[in-house]
Structure 1
């Protein structure tokens, strides 16, 4: 199963040249999920030739501008381009009101339907289930209501080796093989052993997005043994006091979370503008959790 995320923005609140505000695109098979939408996200999507029709769900972690100021521009451009596909936006209370006012005073009539789902930021809440994935909120500790998102792809049934089956093989028998059963054809007397006519389907994969948050261990139980986690690392340990004052995390703290949940890989981002070089972020994190990567804009991370 194709399961990967594209980094569109790694910066925090203060603008820095060549470092854009938070935005990520998670792709699972042919579905794409936009996670946060900082200023200029629509340009990042154009640069990477992302098809807007594949984005039917947008997840906004909280209402600090560096995580959603790009949304009105993106939606307006989609509208100008005659988008028809409906869209669901998951966000804390207030975003629907903000966007509605902006559309009202710009006299914008949308060509597509937007459904707003208010997220629960203080407890775990299941917010989406499709044929491919389930999504639930991750309660985070920040200055305003904020949550992360845990994505789990669904394991698929066994895959049919169609070239091995006879022509016009009955559909009910195909379903039995997909379910892992052997098939006995009463008419022909043939027996079709499951392991000879199928291969293993895709396994479930998991990805956690932990946006702005102070260090806290409340999410450890929820995120045990996930495949990958993105965790903010706004500061290094030399600025620990600043991190505590602003409800952010250090690179070492992000690595500590990854280590405690037994994640396979950690990607850190949301860097403060004070850092021009990120070597210290990486070395700090790797001292606690070896399989750590810096979020690099334009890079795709496979899960």
Structure 2
């Protein structure tokens, strides 16, 4: 099953050096989940040949403009190109008022259902469950209410050992149960054990998105053991005081967090416009967490 992340925007408050504001697309089993929608998101979707019609869900972390000001334009464009399929949006409760205001004063009646789900910013909660994934929101520690999102893949089915099945003439009607880890009893009373006729299912994968936040530790339990962690790293650690004043994290802190929560891999983003060269940022991360990488726009990262 596909489980991969494409970065659309990696900068912080303002675009700079060809870098855009925060936005990314998570592909889970060919369903697209858009996470944050800074200005320029539509252009990035076009640039990287990602069809907006494939986006099923949108998640907005908070109401600072670099994380959501591209949303109204995207919603409107979906309307103009004739979208009919419903779009589900998760975000701060106040976001609905903002959207309604724009639609009212532009006299726009969307051609498709827009389903809005308010995310409570002060408690962890399951906000979406489908056949592929379970999504949780969790509070971050920013200047205004802000949430992170964790996507946990549903357990996958075991794979049938074809050779063993053929050698023991396992009835076809047993295969579905065996894949689910359930032993099967045939009509003549013979027991076929799942463990003997299947290979163990692949390990489940997970992705956590940590938008703007102080390293307060409040959210660390929510991202424990994640396969891929995206964490903001707005500044280098020589600007630690500036990071604290603005409720942001440094690259060194992001690396320490990834090490502490036992993440398998770390992506850093939300870079300050003061940095043209980003290599010192990933070097700082790798000084404590070697498996660290820059979130580079247009790059797709497989989640293993």
Q: Same fold (TM over 0.5)?
A: yes
CA distance in 2, matches of 1:279, 1:30: 32
Identify the residue that residue 39 of structure 2 maps to in structure 1: 39
Check the 8 A contact 2:214/2:247 in 1, yes or no: yes
Farther off after superposition, 218-227 or 139-148? 218-227
Identify the residue that residue 290 of structure 2 maps to in structure 1: 290
TM-score where L is the length of structure 1: 0.92
Identify the residue that residue 209 of structure 1 maps to in structure 2: 209
Identify the residue that residue 237 of structure 1 maps to in structure 2: 237
Q: Give the SS at the match of 1:222.
A: helix
Identify the residue that residue 149 of structure 2 maps to in structure 1: 149
Structure 1 residue 200, shift from structure 2 partner? 3.0
Q: 1:160 to 1:93 in 2, by over 3 A?
A: same
Q: Does 1:52 align with 2:74?
A: no
TM-score where L is the length of structure 2: 0.92
Structure 1 residue 284, shift from structure 2 partner? 1.1
CA distance in 1, matches of 2:181, 2:72: 48
Please list, as runs of the form range in 1=range in 2, the aligned pairs for 1:123-272 lying within 5 A after superposition. Answer: 123-160=123-160, 170-171=172-173, 173-186=174-187, 194=194, 197-272=197-272
Q: Does 1:7 align with 2:7?
A: yes
Check the 8 A contact 2:14/2:20 in 1, yes or no: no
Q: Which segments of 5 or more consecutive residues in structure 1 lack a partner in the other structure?
A: none
CA distance in 1, matches of 2:185, 2:170: 16
Structure 1 residue 184, shift from structure 2 partner? 4.5
Identify the residue that residue 300 of structure 2 maps to in structure 1: 300
Check the 8 A contact 2:141/2:218 in 1, yes or no: no
Identify the residue that residue 81 of structure 1 maps to in structure 2: 81
Q: Does 1:96 align with 2:96?
A: yes
Give the superposed CA RMSD: 2.2
Structure 1 residue 160, shift from structure 2 partner? 3.8
